[in-house]
Chain A
Amino acid sequence: MKPRRWPLYTVLAFGYAFLYVPVLLLIVYSFNESRLVTVWTGFSTKWYGELLRNQQLLDAAWLSIRIAATNATFAVVLGTLAANALVRHGRFRGRGGFELLLTAPLVMPDVIIGLSLLLLFVAMQQTIGWPDGRGFTTITIAHLTFSMAYVAVVVRARLAQMDRSLEEAAMDLGARPLTVYLRITLPLIAPALLSGWLLAFTLSLDDLVIASFVSGPGSTTLPMVVYSSVRMGVSPQINALATLIVLFVTVAVIVVTLALRGGGGGRAR
């Protein structure tokens, strides 16, 4: 006797509606003519025009993108190293502490990370004179600290499911450990590196709280601009921005998924 599935699917449908209706409304009303976001008066793309003339917002977006890209690149390096350590170095001394340190940033409230890093930067500036002022560098360091943990999770899963005998075979055929890593391991975990990069990129692009703590005057990121605008109340420009972001993300996710499925990255057997 088969359990009836329609109650399950009802919940599922409700869940997806819950997740997607707000975003859809956001998109639809980005094309609304009226400044009052919730009252439909007619179709218009004028808010997109205004968005693109909003120099402050564009500057902030450019800064955020630069930070996000730098962060993602370094996060992939550090996160991959950490994943190597966890998967390939067995029970090294201090492993428990290592895992703890690597998991904590995943759940640590942003306010604590932000505050603590700011206090660190202030203390460092006082004692060693670096970082001189806060901005691009401090925000990137702060973002790296939690994004590398996310990358480590993604890469670790991929590494753990990789067939060890591939690396052993390479070694058996005369490849030294570094060669094995570069020629065999890295190509095979490349999809995870790519997802890790994208994840770190979006996490950084999305962060308001931590950046607010560790940024200085003159380095305002996109979420900070959006936040101060949102606090003033709803604004059609933000709707337009949201639409662009959703569009960008959807396309990126679809392209990456198809690319990863279509070949190139070898399957772990």
Chain B
Amino acid sequence: MASAIDRRSLEPWQDPQAEPYVRIERVTKKFGDIYAVDDVSLAIFQGEFFSLLGGSGCGKSTLLRLLAGLESPSAGRIHIDGVDVTDIPPYHRPVNMMFQSYALFPHMNVEQNVEFGLKQERMPRRERAERVAEMLDLLKITELRQRQPDQLSGGQRQRAALARSLAKHPKLLLLDEPLGALDKRLREHTQFELVNLQERIGTTFITVTHDQEEAMTMSTRIAVMDAGQIIQVDTPTGIYEYPNSRFVAEFIGSVNLFEGKVMRRDGDEVLVESPLGRSLQMHCPHPLALGTPVAVAVRPEKIKLCMDFRADAVNQIAGVVEDIAYLGDVSIYHVRVGPEKIVTMTLANIQPRTEQALTWGQEVAMEWSPTSGVVLTD
């Protein structure tokens, strides 16, 4: 059982005995009539790189600001490291935040910005200088120490802001769209740096993002939010492979949804009758009553070309190629399988493009295995 123990220490959320580092209990935040955060409960463990993911206005920033103490909840409690911090003002919380706009003080240079928090806790001068040097070194901005914020590039500003928020060695670092203001190239590069940094210093990170790729790349776990509520919390793999609802399935990556009704149960498998006239047989560990309306979600890259198409086989479907998007490594095919239904399929471009088998207007048959999708009820 050694492997199970290992997994538990790496994935503390699997361990019912593990004590969460941050505990959010039924927290609600109302602005007037708007529920910015609606009855949210979360447990986050020490050393995690946790991401809040969701569309614009779904309450990610508000949840982060509640943790920082910049907003106080309308209901619910927040515990950090075993202490109830709900009523503690931001300047007494062992938490620091990196702001979406970075919020570098424009009238102070980089060094003074980094030093600001240390001065507030009256750290002795020598120690303070050491800490500042350490932070500037950690983020490789030592030579920028005398610059004013408006003399920095976007990436440099991001580092300065990060250095400032890490300087006090917070127990928890909150990052509101840390890479949002960077261009795409820089963002991808910085994602890895951020993860490396977090692994090196071991601080618990909670980030906010509305970029799903970013969340997938960086996080230990992701919470998908919608309209102030948390829809699903899981590892990136879990979120991608086993979404718990149509919302999550469609929010992360692209997906084909086949609506239908449960016709038969057979152990761990269910047979779903789809209005397209096909039967879909899927793996489904949780019990579903016969006749339940469900959606079968299959990712485009899980769909293969079918060599032996039979009209009565399960998990097979045929159609006409309507659109091809060539992306270099892969191509995305839109295949019309019914008057209202288009299936998206991704195929790796193993052959050079000119020798591709599929072209516009061509009839194709497709198939997938019962374990390469999920059955969704929500």
Spell out A's residues near B (CB within 8 Å). 163, 165-166, 168-176, 179, 183-184, 187-188, 265-269
Is B90 at the interface (CB under 8 A from chain A)?
A: yes
- Report A-chain residues with C-beta under 8 Å of the C-beta of B165: 172-173
Bound together, the chains give a CA A269 to CA B148 distance in angstroms of 13
Q: Given the interface contacts A188-B107, A267-B106, does A173 sit within 8 Å of B70 by beta carbon?
A: no
List residues of B (342-368) whose CB comes within 8 Å of A's CBs.
none
Bound together, the chains give a CA A184 to CA B105 distance in angstroms of 7
List residues of B (121-178) whose CB comes within 8 Å of A's CBs.
121, 148, 150, 164-165, 168
Is B377 at the interface (CB under 8 A from chain A)?
A: no
List residues of B (98-115) whose CB comes within 8 Å of A's CBs.
99-101, 103, 105-107
A173 near B106: Cβ-Cβ < 8 Å: no
Contact of A179 among B70, B95, B99, B120 (CB under 8 A): B120
Taking the closest CB of chain A, its distance from the CB of B118, in whole angstroms, is 9
Bound together, the chains give a CA A183 to CA B106 distance in angstroms of 12
Is B45 at the interface (CB under 8 A from chain A)?
A: no
- Report B-chain residues with C-beta under 8 Å of the C-beta of A183: 116
Taking the closest CB of chain A, its distance from the CB of B150, in whole angstroms, is 7
Nearest chain A residue, comparing its CB with the CB of B122: A174
Is B192 at the interface (CB under 8 A from chain A)?
A: no
Nearest chain A residue, comparing its CB with the CB of B115: A173
Bound together, the chains give a CA A175 to CA B91 distance in angstroms of 6
Nearest chain B residue, comparing its CB with the CB of A168: B70
Taking the closest CB of chain A, its distance from the CB of B336, in whole angstroms, is 47
Nearest chain A residue, comparing its CB with the CB of B100: A165
Bound together, the chains give a CA A266 to CA B69 distance in angstroms of 27
Taking the closest CB of chain A, its distance from the CB of B184, in whole angstroms, is 23
Taking the closest CB of chain A, its distance from the CB of B252, in whole angstroms, is 29
Is B96 at the interface (CB under 8 A from chain A)?
A: yes
Is B320 at the interface (CB under 8 A from chain A)?
A: no
Bound together, the chains give a CA A226 to CA B121 distance in angstroms of 58
Bound together, the chains give a CA A35 to CA B70 distance in angstroms of 70
Nearest chain B residue, comparing its CB with the CB of A267: B106
Extra contacts, 5 of them, besides A170-B105, A173-B116 (Cβ < 8 A), are A168-B99, A172-B97, A173-B165, A174-B168, A188-B107
Q: Given the interface contacts A163-B101, A168-B70, A179-B120, does A173 sit within 8 Å of B107 by beta carbon?
A: no
- Report B-chain residues with C-beta under 8 Å of the C-beta of A269: 101, 106, 150
Taking the closest CB of chain B, its distance from the CB of A193, in whole angstroms, is 14
Spell out B's residues near A (CB within 8 Å). 68-70, 89-92, 95-97, 99-101, 103, 105-107, 116-117, 120-121, 148, 150, 164-165, 168
Interface Cβ pair total, 8 Å cutoff: 68
Contact of A168 among B90, B92, B117 (CB under 8 A): B90
A169 near B103: Cβ-Cβ < 8 Å: yes
Bound together, the chains give a CA A206 to CA B103 distance in angstroms of 41
B106 near A172: Cβ-Cβ < 8 Å: no
- Report B-chain residues with C-beta under 8 Å of the C-beta of A166: 103, 105-106
B101 near A174: Cβ-Cβ < 8 Å: no
Taking the closest CB of chain A, its distance from the CB of B334, in whole angstroms, is 43
- Report A-chain residues with C-beta under 8 Å of the C-beta of B103: 163, 165-166, 168-169
B99 near A169: Cβ-Cβ < 8 Å: yes
Bound together, the chains give a CA A171 to CA B91 distance in angstroms of 5
- Report A-chain residues with C-beta under 8 Å of the C-beta of B91: 171-176
B120 near A266: Cβ-Cβ < 8 Å: no
Taking the closest CB of chain A, its distance from the CB of B151, in whole angstroms, is 11
Contact of A174 among B106, B120, B148 (CB under 8 A): B120
Bound together, the chains give a CA A269 to CA B104 distance in angstroms of 10
- Report A-chain residues with C-beta under 8 Å of the C-beta of B117: 173-174
B107 near A266: Cβ-Cβ < 8 Å: yes
- Report A-chain residues with C-beta under 8 Å of the C-beta of B99: 165, 168-169
Nearest chain B residue, comparing its CB with the CB of A174: B120
Can you give 13 contacting A-B residue pairs, CB < 8 Å? A165-B101, A165-B103, A166-B106, A169-B105, A171-B89, A171-B90, A173-B168, A174-B91, A174-B168, A183-B116, A187-B107, A266-B106, A267-B150
Taking the closest CB of chain A, its distance from the CB of B324, in whole angstroms, is 44
Taking the closest CB of chain B, its distance from the CB of A217, in whole angstroms, is 49
Closest A-B pairs by Cβ, 3 of them: A266-B106, A173-B117, A174-B120
* Most A C-beta atoms less than 10 A away, residue of B95, B100, B107, B165: B107
- Report B-chain residues with C-beta under 8 Å of the C-beta of A172: 68-70, 90-91, 95-97, 165
Nearest chain A residue, comparing its CB with the CB of B120: A174
B121 near A174: Cβ-Cβ < 8 Å: yes
- Report A-chain residues with C-beta under 8 Å of the C-beta of B70: 168, 171-172
Q: Given the interface contacts A188-B106, A267-B150, does A173 sit within 8 Å of B120 by beta carbon?
A: yes
Q: Given the interface contacts A188-B106, A266-B107, does A173 sit within 8 Å of B164 by beta carbon?
A: yes
- Report B-chain residues with C-beta under 8 Å of the C-beta of A267: 106, 150
Bound together, the chains give a CA A267 to CA B70 distance in angstroms of 24
- Report A-chain residues with C-beta under 8 Å of the C-beta of B107: 187-188, 265-266
Bound together, the chains give a CA A173 to CA B166 distance in angstroms of 10
